[in-house]
Chain A
Amino acid sequence: MSVNLERIREIFSDYSPEKGNFMVLLHDVQKACGNWLPEEALMEVSKLAKMPLNKVYGFVSFYTMFSTQPRGKHIIRVCKDGPCAVKGSLMLADLLMKELDVDMGETTDDNHFTLEETACIGTCTASPAMMIDDEVYGNVAPESLNSILKKYR
């Protein structure tokens, strides 16, 4: 897919280092580009934010929610940190890999889902936890997986 530079300029028209809104704007750029940050998008961001590309890349690579690889329409993120792992998030991840027929970090052939791990998302009291796009799911039982996925199919 080609990158809509006009849209990125629009998003970044509100950028200022003082506001510290880089993260939020990058997020919007990622959405506008179809859930990932292609090279051209990062170059445009680098120009608009007057931040050298190596720095932009360092920033983007630090956060798992940004991707520089193409991703599916919906991003499933399974929490892999301690509390969730203890409560079975690894098994959850296994089930999802089987169900979607992908490895961790991969995208389904129909470009519908991307499966990822994430660090703690602050739902430890309801572990195991996962997110699909911006929606958080706590206490995910293996048998409820299919009905959750159905909402996005």
Chain B
Amino acid sequence: MSEMIKVNIDGIEVEVESGATVLSACEKAGVKVPVLCHHPDLNVAGVCRVCMVEIEGMGNLQASCAYPVTQPLTVKTKTNRVRKARRMNLDLVLAEHYGDCYTCPRNGNCELRTLADEYGVDKFKFPHVDKPRYAKDTKSFSIIRDQDKCIHCKRCIRTCIDMQKVNVYETANKGHDVEIQVALNKSIADVVCINCGQCVNRCPTGALWTQDVSDQVWEDIENPDLFVIMQTAPSPRAAIGEEFGYPPGTRVTKKLNAAMRRAGFDKVLDTNFAADLTIMEEGTELLERLHKVIVKKDKSVKIPMFTSCSPGWVKFIEHYYPDHLDHLSTCKSPQQMYGAVIKTYYAEKIGIDPSKIRTVALMPCSAKKYECNRPEMNASGYRDVDYGLTTREMAMMLKEAGLHLADMPTEEFDPVLGEGSGAGMIFGATGGVMEAAIRTVYELVTGRPVPFERLNITPVRGMEAIKEASLKLEKVKKEYKWLEGVELKIAVAHGTANAKILMDKLVDGTLDYHFIEVMACPGGCLGGGGQPIPTTPEIRKARANAIYQEDEEIEIRKSHENPLIQKLYKEFLGKPGSHKSHELLHTHYTKRGQYFVKD
């Protein structure tokens, strides 16, 4: 550990590590300093200058987010000089901004507006933009850009380039004409954007947002001819409470069920069920691939196999590693599997014409909006999933309908395909798909449960960038003799920057694993681009805790033991990997490359 240095903030003494920023010392002292370009997940930018403080012995005010502590300092954050400079810099930022708070999706949750309010911007000292200068970019299925509200804080650039290793944004032009731009002023729909929405989660204003389909969903709910079925993923349930004032990590699954029924959804189903289905298919696919590689020495079959539940990750590999798509599992994501099963098997069970069914998926994710619109996602003969709603959109819909979670009773999911196992639940956290898959695959192969206390495969849990584990397969069942003694090597990465590290090794031929889970978003789906804003490492940890707790409380914690899954195979699909499964539950991918997608 490096040396500790004393810093005095407005009379409060704290100690921070040498090299820590003055801003972090202020946080430690419990002194709030406003920030706009700073974000706890991102590198320092130091461009907005609203975090100015006075440091004794320094002539000029300093940006606290960028100033490193290397010697004892005395800092003042509330002097008149600081307050004036802060106001002026805020006003400069506001001068660039054109927007109308009433109609803005960030109204009520906008960092710019909050700062203008808290820091007493009372009159404009600079000429302000008073007309829109840009057309909104609404072409993408996932991401909307409203550049008039952009304040050039560059959080989106740092998010996309540094955190996600995707190259969408760049600073364009110079001086007065500077703007944050997509290459050649293209629509974000026409470039390498993977729709992860991480930039949306970190934008301080309404300049970036996700597509909103709630009006169409309301229309369908009210249409007497349509039967609207909701499926909810695990992550929104661990986060939507934040939109209603609960602390991060509050579990509201059953209250949410009640609220959604009151909003008018005809059925409320649990995507964890489809996650279990994914495990059955993906686990089977893994064993088939291993068999072909180990026993048949089939060179055309690719190992390691990567998970394919994260549509952001899928698009990342389609753009950046188009020659390695054979490593992706052919399994659709749980959302899409569910859609296909609902409009076939379930439609028949409940006796409703599938053409009259609309499926809505509540997801933590902006990329799922794109995914459900991919042309190939119509295995049921219809659009398998009609709408992807983000956690934020759902919260807005419930508020619009006057449905507050606090007032709701608790209600269960609807039967037939209602429930998932604990294994399905943990899909929401990084490492969760791997853990769920291993719980099933290990038991399938050896006949024994995984050798971890209470089935918790702790090496793949937590927020470490890349996690690895290996598991020796011993005393295997007869039919898996060929796996006896094999050391099953697995890895887990979250955030596409971490995935890129693994992919580059794959390209070099130095990647030595059998099975790899990748989620495009930091922390996994619980940190998805459709989740409540703000997002910070602490908030993501709290959501993960909620997810793991819920797993432990569910009686059935292995996908293959979910009786509803067993029934689905018996009555409809046959067995995992069957012809029917392939038709409905598996897919293929598109080589996209890094240049413009054709219309």
Contact = CB atoms under 8 A, between A and B. Distances in A.
Given A52-B594, A53-B167, A54-B168, A42 B173 contact: no
Given A53-B183, A53-B191, A58 B594 contact: no
A52 B173 CA distance: 17
Interface string A25-58: 0000000000000010011001000001111111
Interface string B184-199: 1000000100000000
Contact of A54 (B173, B174, B182): B182
A108 interface: no
Nearest to B169: A54
A68 B184 contact: yes
A61 B172 CA distance: 6
Contacts of B174: 62
A53 B181 CA distance: 12
Nearest to A42: B184
Q: Which interface residue of B170, B172, B183, B191 has the most chain A CB atoms within 10 A? A: B183
A53 B594 contact: yes
Contacts of B173: 61-62
A139 B174 CA distance: 28
A14 B231 CA distance: 56
A1 B183 CA distance: 21
B595 interface: yes
A111 B411 CA distance: 70
A57 B595 contact: no
Contacts of A68: 184
Nearest to A51: B167
Contacts of A42: 183-184
A44 to B, nearest CB: 10
B171 interface: yes
Contacts of B168: 54
Interface string A55-85: 1111001100000100000000000000000
A55 B184 CA distance: 10
Contact of A58 (B170, B191, B595, B596): B170
A42 B171 CA distance: 17
Contacts of A46: 594-595
A117 B394 CA distance: 50
A43 B167 CA distance: 14
Given A42-B184, A61-B181, A68-B184, A53 B595 contact: yes
Given A43-B595, A62-B173, A62-B174, A57 B181 contact: yes
Q: Which interface residue of A43, A53, A56 has the most chain B CB atoms within 10 A? A: A53
Interface string B146-188: 0000000000000000000001111111100000011110000
Interface string B270-314: 000000000000000000000000000000000000000000000
Interface in B507-522: none
A106 B162 CA distance: 37
Contacts of B183: 42, 53-54, 56-57
A42 B182 CA distance: 14
Contacts of A43: 595-596
Contacts of B167: 52-55
Q: Which interface residue of A52, A53, A54, A61 has the most chain B CB atoms within 10 A? A: A54
Interface string A94-114: 000000000000000000000
B225 to A, nearest CB: 46
A57 B173 CA distance: 9
A61 B168 CA distance: 15
A54 B186 CA distance: 10
A62 B596 CA distance: 22
A11 B168 CA distance: 26
8 contacts: A39-B184, A46-B594, A52-B167, A53-B191, A53-B594, A57-B183, A58-B170, A62-B172
Interface of B: 167-174, 181-184, 191, 594-596
Across the A-B interface, give the 5 residue pairs with the lowest CB-CB distance, nearest first: A58-B170, A52-B167, A54-B170, A61-B172, A57-B183
